[in-house]
A and B are shown apart, each in its own frame.
Chain A
Amino acid sequence: MRRFISLAIALLIAGFGSSVSFAQAGKLDFADKVRLLSCDPSTSKPCFRVKFNVVDAQGSPLNINLPPNKDLRGKLKVYLDNQEIDPFFAVAQSGDTQAVRGRIALILVDVSGSMNQRMPSGQTRFETAKAALAQFLQGFDPSVDRVAIVPFESHDVANRISSAQFASSSAEALTQISALPTPGPRNNTALYSAVVQGLQVLAEASTASNASGSGAPESLLVVMTDGKNEVGKGDDAGLLDGPAGLQEAANATRSSGVQVIAVGFGDRGSIDQSALRQISTKAYMADSLEKLAQAFNFARTLLTNRIVATFASPWDDRASLQGRTLQVKATLNVSGKKFESDERQWSAPQIGTPSFDGKCDTAELKAALPIVPASGSWLSLLRPVLVFLGLGTMLLVLWFWVPRLVWPEQYIGNFPGSAPDGGMRWANMSRARSSSQDMPMRQAPPGFGGQKGGAQPPRAAGERTVVRPEADFSKSRLQKRPPGGRDY
């Protein structure tokens, strides 16, 4: 009986454990960095925008039934330094293209010499890659999508990538795929430089879109390679290489906040998987046309199926965010399942005040209006003035008043009757001394005595001054009248 009970308990625990693991099978994955937004005029409070994908444990996109956007907000919780915050705006972009400000994707295709290797299917890697790329264009929406497909190897890397043309139709994109040059046998792989350059291109495109008033689009960089970073003689000068180059590419990915999908294609042994993971936010390996097409399909889904949430910060103004490093995470409760994200850091500048990464769009402003208080406290406006006045007053006191206490002798005149040794300071208070008495006289230093310099005996009251005329006036001297001399 005891055995039966303990077995039942064990089964219950195992069942509970499996249900927990089932509930946490998926997770929220940050699709962009945490961005600080201005939601003026709806509210003067600084707001944050976060974007997520729902993915499985392997990082592949997970299809779940999300509630309608009007209900999604209630299912999402954001935690800012473990402080729970309800977002005032949430939208799943997969079901609402109106909520998408635009999507730009840059696909970098490796055309190094090794891409000419034949696969078991008889096609070269390059031909297979071209066939799989079409998968990315499925569901292309000309109203929001812009895609550029650019080859890279180790020659003319920066120019090729920076001159990328974003196609606004599926046909244009297919033309770019068919125009990809055949890999040359002497081409190496400037993988790190290509990623850094690609991120720059996306940043410029995003800035241009923002400046035109369309808002920052959803961005994605896909880099497909069959090997590892290799540069040598005859390649472009200044290409990134080695651990330093890898670190620079990894830093560029991390600081950009852009989702970078690396697709390793071909023989796994020849692919530098560790480097691919470092320079990307997500890496997929593929060794056949089907798997490569699936990887591009995943990349496409990660771009289109994003959940966007916007929430107001607990602080009233930007200045209150100075010097803060915040840990942001989120949870989504859907159909009895809880999806939780990892922590993502938002950090204020090291010295300065954080500036806004952008502005809330119209939908966010409308959503904020009834929920978020319109303005912070009056202290937000008055505080800098008070700080200036307070510190200014302190410095004035230190400048004008404190030195009089520390060096009083330099601020009090030496008039007759003043006594540095603590005596009376006022002439009419009976301790005045005669001006000729006790006046401090410095002895001439050794070597400075004699007739021309140093202390001279005091002049008698009856002495008269005579001026001797000389040709050079500057040489005239004041002298005592010689006995029997003439006055001039």
Chain B
Amino acid sequence: MSLYKTLYFMCLVGGIAGLFSWTLYALVSAVFANQSSAWVADVIPATILGAFIGGLTVAFSDKWSGSRIMPRWVVSGTLIGILAGLLAGLAQIPITNNLGEKAPILTRLIAWMLAGSFIGCGLGLRWVQVNRARVAHAFAGGLIGGALGGLIFVGLGTVVPDLSQALGFVSVGVGICFGVTLAPILLRDGVLQFISSGDARAQSKFGRSHKEWEIQQGDSYVVGSQSQDLSRSRYRPEIDIFVPDTGIAGRHAILFGKNGRFFLARHPDASDQAALARYQLRVRGKTVVSSQELRDSDDILVGRTALKFVSRKEK
């Protein structure tokens, strides 16, 4: 799936998560209409929103990045979303106490922004090993989404009840997913494009959609074919660029950006003599033994899969 198509569908996933959250919250609110603490009425929706956005975003981002959807990652995403929503709900209590009476509209906006940014931040933690800046991007995306949701809620709240809240939830979901997905696209310094593969599975998976992986300075991606079933991590795939090619080692190569330059290196797991002979790694037709700097329009052969590196800076 191309980058912009991924962005489009991820935003829709956020919107769906928002709508489901609102529906569940409306049911919960109808059942538990009698309780005395007003802050609970803010903690519960933020927590439900975090749960849905966390779970659905993890599931769909894995699906579209070519990885398998691992239930334990979805559960982790849901739990982190719940925690982030809970913290956001609690964090707005002192703000409401101090600012609520003096500036009610601003307080509402801040509460929505807190919910969006905290949940976004929780999602961004997924990519902290790839690039720490992703957490900040996700945070900023969530902040903007939350502000949008808050504006809709405040603006339409007294005119169209229910719809304003539902649209607010949907907007926060869209905003968070937009931020999480768009930031790497906007800030990308290069793109790795799938060209073709001699392996039918890889060709069938990525050939039609012309899969692209965005790369940014500071990123560090592991390229490989290791099945997600073998992954031991709890929240994110161990293989960032997963290509189901039998000619590619489980952990084949590392693609990283440093000091404004990009490099492709053999993964330590595929660096011994046997692996050198068995697993191909070529840049511009030359076999990579340790590491190789990448330049714009470089052709890369990984196993039986041809990729192309396009650098934005050199264009």
Contacts and interface: CB of A to CB of B under 8 A. Distances in A.
26 contacts: A210-B36, A317-B161, A319-B165, A320-B161, A323-B108, A323-B153, A323-B154, A323-B158, A324-B157, A345-B101, A351-B45, A351-B115, A352-B29, A355-B29, A355-B35, A356-B34, A358-B36, A384-B162, A388-B23, A388-B166, A391-B19, A407-B5, A445-B308, A446-B284, A447-B283, A448-B285
B306 A350 contact: no
Contact of B36 (A207, A318, A387): A207
Given A351-B45, A354-B38, A384-B26, A319 B115 contact: no
Contacts of A319: 161-162, 165
A418 B161 CA distance: 49
Nearest to A315: B161
B43 to A, nearest CB: 8
The 5 closest A-B pairs by CB, nearest first: A447-B285, A323-B157, A350-B111, A352-B41, A445-B299
B90 interface: no
Contacts of A251: 94, 97-98
A352 B45 contact: yes
A442 B108 contact: no
Given A351-B115, A410-B208, 19 more contacts: A38-B33, A322-B165, A347-B100, A349-B39, A351-B111, A352-B25, A352-B42, A353-B165, A355-B41, A356-B33, A383-B163, A387-B166, A388-B19, A391-B167, A391-B170, A399-B9, A410-B5, A447-B285, A448-B285
Interface of A: 38, 207, 210, 247, 251, 254-255, 317-325, 345, 347, 349-359, 383-384, 387-388, 390-392, 395, 398-399, 403, 406-407, 410, 442, 445-448, 453
A358 B36 CA distance: 7
Interface of B: 2, 5, 8-9, 12, 15-16, 19, 22-23, 25-26, 29, 32-36, 38-42, 44-46, 89, 92, 94, 96-98, 100-101, 104-105, 107-108, 110-112, 115, 153-154, 157-158, 161-168, 170, 195-196, 198, 208-209, 282-286, 299, 301, 304, 306, 308
A445 B302 CA distance: 13
Contacts of B166: 387-388, 391
Contacts of A445: 195, 299, 306, 308
Nearest to B39: A349
Contact of B164 (A323, A356, A453): A323
Nearest to A413: B208
B12 A395 contact: yes
B49 to A, nearest CB: 8
Contact of A395 (B16, B42, B209): B16
Given A323-B164, A388-B166, A403-B5, A359 B45 contact: no
DSSP majority for the B interface? helix
B99 to A, nearest CB: 10
B16 A247 contact: no
A254, A354, A387, A406 — which one has the most chain B CB atoms within 10 A of its CB?
Answer: A387
Given A319-B161, A323-B158, A445-B306, A350 B5 contact: no
Nearest to B15: A395
A255 B167 CA distance: 29
Nearest to B165: A322
Contact of B161 (A38, A349, A383, A399): A383
Contacts of B8: 403, 406
Nearest to B146: A351
B158 A398 contact: no
A467 B9 CA distance: 47
Contact of B97 (A255, A354, A383, A403): A255
